[in-house]
Structure 1
Amino acid sequence: MKIDSHQHFWEYDPVRDEWIDDSMEILKQDFMPKDLEPHLSDAGFDGCITVQADPSERETNFLLELAENHDFIKGVVGWVDLTSPKLENRLVHFDQFKKLKGFREILQGEPPGSMLDERFISGIEALQKTRFRYDILIFENQLRECIKFVEHFPEMHFVVDHIAKPVIKESSFDEWADSMKKLSDFPNLHIKLSGMVTEADWDHWQTKDFTPYLETCLEHFGADRLMIGSDWPVCLLAAEYGEVVGIIEDFLDGLSQEEYDDIMGKTAVEFYQLNE
């Protein structure tokens, strides 16, 4: 099964979605399943994982309703307040939704130390006792903190979104690569090969810009801990859906069939327990 492990849906709200500034005009519209399905089909995907873009349970419920009505949405990564004293009750509530596979915080917007805050640590401890997975959304300058965070949870299933957002347009690499190598020591942590085009020069990126980053991920994590993600519709700031998929397809050319199958779907299926 081929799976796009990372994309978003929303009904555009200028107040809620204030992060979409004037440089992102193309994103100031609705993006719904009917808009994505043709792209998935053209790229040969069997389905997708849809990921929260707003920190609210309303968002989680919105995505779950879409997943209920569209079979190609194989899983949902939602939001829940991991610092709430009512967290365990909320996790019990959400356990009834089988397409809900995990949760995410927008940690890239949080101040230093947030991942190591006692309340957040307690929240992940509670999450670790459930079937749910956790998506880590950070910038590359948060990687050192992320390493300390992951050390606390050897049993938690983590995936880092967007290869931790190195500043590709500035060829930022060495410190990112060093931290990624250290992160690879944790066998419970996976990586999404996603979100790269928006970290590159939106108007002038070339496929070769991403090669050292992809090679580093493959070398240290192996194909069985990597998964493709489009980050649609955010990717539209810099590339069409097919172009994003093409970057990964080009990189996979010459790898084994097993490695291809892992990155293009098997890793996501196993990580998000899509067959359960």
Structure 2
Amino acid sequence: MLFDTHLHLIYKDRLSYPWLGDFDALNRDNPFEAYTRAAARLGISGCFHMEVDVAEAQIEEEIDVIAALSDQADGLLRGIISSCRPEHADFPAFLERVSEQTLLRGFRRVLHVVPDDVSTSALFRDNIKRLSGTGKTFDLCVLPRQLHLAIALVDHAPEVTFILDHCGVPDIATGALEPWRTDLRALAERPNVRAKISGIIAYGDPDRWTLNDLRPFVEETVDAFGHDRLVWGSDSPVCNLGGGLETWVAATHALTAGWSTEDRAAFYKTNAVGIWGL
């Protein structure tokens, strides 16, 4: 059974998503009801909602909207990763308010949509360090050229658990392993970082990618982090850009077919249970 650590639920009638207007293929609802039907068919036993970069004024409202879904589907929704703005001085007050939500598991600030110097400021780094001892994780959503920025942030907050999204968004379409591989391995040297192999079919050629295109990037990530520091995610509905949730689940099983039973179980679910104390 898979535990999905990266599901984007989208409700355009309740929340505003300014960036979706530039992405016609994704500019539609992704409701929980549709996901639960697919999950029951695909062997997904639990999930986290991953923030969808709503309008800044609605970040806390997004938490409330998603939390209201938690009674559906026999507890399939096990947590929320919230958006945040660590570059703002009021982050400590925000952290105190939202931490009262029992479903809150961590935070994310997408760093490839803001200038690189946002995450290098002392305020940003010190605010991320405030997560130390809280049990809340921070997702690193960066492009390969920004992995060095992720390393600097991780080094500033060694007691925070960081989750690298989407294997660091490698350039699967061209097959270019470097410099992604070198910087990924440098990041993996930090023991407080975990890697999320999530929805990477979206980064291949949408018409022609094959398992052999994905395999070297998955194998490099596994070799860098080890099986005990990996989690799985769907990145639904973004994975639709590469074939959809069903295709990604099938690819996941194919890519891990040669793993031991213990390693598959760790990647599929038990590592996530351990990280977030589920």
Is the structural similarity TM-score above 0.5?
yes
Structure 1 unmatched ranges of 5 or more: none
Among residues 52, 58, 61, which one is paired with 1:58 in the alignment?
61
Normalising by structure 1, what TM-score? 0.92
Output the amino acid matched with 1:200: G
> Distance in 2 between the 1:118 and 1:67 partners?
36
Structure 2 unmatched ranges of 5 or more: none
> Distance in 1 between the 2:48 and 2:202 partners?
19
User: Do the aligned partners of residues 130 and 161 (structure 1) sit closer, same or farther apart at CA in structure 2, a change above 3 Å counting?
Assistant: same
Alignment RMSD (CA, Å)? 1.9
CA offset digits 1:118-163 (Å, max 9, x no partner): 1101211212242211111111110111112211121111101111
Contact 2:87 / 2:118 at 8 angstroms: preserved in 1?
A: no
Contact 1:83 / 1:122 at 8 angstroms: preserved in 2?
A: no
> Distance in 1 between the 2:260 and 2:253 partners?
12
Matched residue, 1:240:
244
- Report whether the alignment pairs 1:206 with 2:210: yes
Normalising by structure 2, what TM-score? 0.92
Matched residue, 1:121:
125
> Distance in 1 between the 2:205 and 2:259 partners?
27
> Distance in 1 between the 2:20 and 2:85 partners?
23
- Report whether the alignment pairs 1:252 with 2:256: yes
CA offset digits 1:83-125 (Å, max 9, x no partner): 3333333322222222110011111111122221111012112
User: Do the aligned partners of residues 84 and 68 (structure 1) sit closer, same or farther apart at CA in structure 2, a change above 3 Å counting?
Assistant: farther
Contact 1:75 / 1:272 at 8 angstroms: preserved in 2?
A: no
**Structure having greater relative contact order (Cα 8 Å, sep ≥ 6):** 1
> Distance in 1 between the 2:70 and 2:164 partners?
23
Matched residue, 2:8:
8
Query: Matched residue of 1:89: which SS?
Result: helix
Query: Matched residue of 1:127: which SS?
Result: coil
User: Do the aligned partners of residues 80 and 145 (structure 1) sit closer, same or farther apart at CA in structure 2, a change above 3 Å counting?
Assistant: closer
Matched residue, 1:103:
107
> Distance in 1 between the 2:85 and 2:68 partners?
20
Task: Summarize the alignment of residues 24-63 of structure 1 with structure 2, pairs less than 5 Å apart.
Answer: 24-55=23-54, 56-63=59-66
Among residues 196, 206, 218, which one is paired with 2:200 in the alignment?
196
